[in-house]
Amino acid sequence: MPTSANDEPQNLIAQLQELRLEHRDLDAAINRLEAEPTLDDLLLRRMKKRKLHLKDRISVIERLLEPNELA
């Protein structure tokens, strides 16, 4: 049972869509940065860390939205 308004399925789905969009945009930005001859290593590491964080949050929300298979 959801414990707050942020845990409502509609809100979780909206968050999931936003996170996926940001993850996709970040992936494209990382690819562009890696293609540049003057690579900014610090920026690249920060972007990859952010992308991993987004992936983790996406996974958490996807698990919350999945029906309980053991029930």
Contact yes or no for 10/65 (Cβ under 8 A): no
Q: What is the pTM of this model?
A: 0.78
State the CB neighbour count (10 A cutoff) for residue 31: 9
- Residue 63 DSSP SS3: helix
Task: Name, in order, each residue with C-beta under 8 angstroms of 41's C-beta and a sequence gap of 6 or more.
Answer: none
- For 69, the token pair is 């298979």
In order of 13, 22, 30, 47, 52, the CA distances from 68 in angstroms are 17, 28, 36, 34, 26
- Dump pLDDT digits (tens) for 26-51: 999 999 999 888 888 999 999 999 99
